[in-house]
Amino acid sequence: MHASLATFLDNADGAAKVMAHGRLLLKLSRRFEAIAPAGFARAARVANYKSGKIVIHADNGAVATKIRQMSQRLCVELSKGGPECNVMEVKVQPRQIPSQSTSSTPKPLSGRACRAIEATASDLPRGELRTALERLLAHVARQE
């Protein structure tokens, strides 16, 4: 895959097409930010453009719905001073924040809590609940 991408980018025709499309998307993005109402310009962005169809990604359903309602007016405004825009497709696509963690930080249990769980587990008959409590104690971070 790497070799084919390098070959494609080394080819003047291939790289030129990619760069031209990138410039077009940048121009459309700036135009969209200028014409969209202030709150929507920050919550939606141009994702792609092809043959008169512009794709907008919105952060949530409410923004997507409102942009769909305004799509005709936005298409007309985007067409002024830019490529022809006949159709606007709006998709809900929340932004990916790289610094945002998807997993939670382990919270340590106090010594008192660990002793209480140990006592509870030892009083229980063999079974799923006792096994689960023992597994919890084996994997939990303990507070010193």
Taking the CB of residue 115, how many other CB atoms lie within 10 A of it?
11
**Does the residue 54 lie in any domain?**
yes
86 and 38 both lie in a single domain? yes
Contact 61, 25 (CB under 8 A): no
110 and 49 both lie in a single domain? no
Output the pLDDT for position 11.
Answer: 67
Contact 29, 45 (CB under 8 A): yes
64 and 108 both lie in a single domain? no
Residues 51-102: pLDDT tens digits?
999 999 999 999 999 999 999 999 999 888 788 999 999 999 887 766 655 6
Containing structural domain, residue 123 = 104-144
What is the longest distance spanned by two Cα atoms in the chain?
77
Query: In angstroms, what is the C-alpha Rg of the chain?
Result: 27
66 and 136 both lie in a single domain? no
**Does the residue 85 lie in any domain?**
yes
How many domains does the structure of the chain reveal? 2
**Rounded to whole angstroms, how far apart are CA atoms 77 and 86?**
11
Q: Is 0.95 topped by the overall pTM? A: no
**Does the residue 55 lie in any domain?**
yes
Output the pLDDT for position 102.
Answer: 61
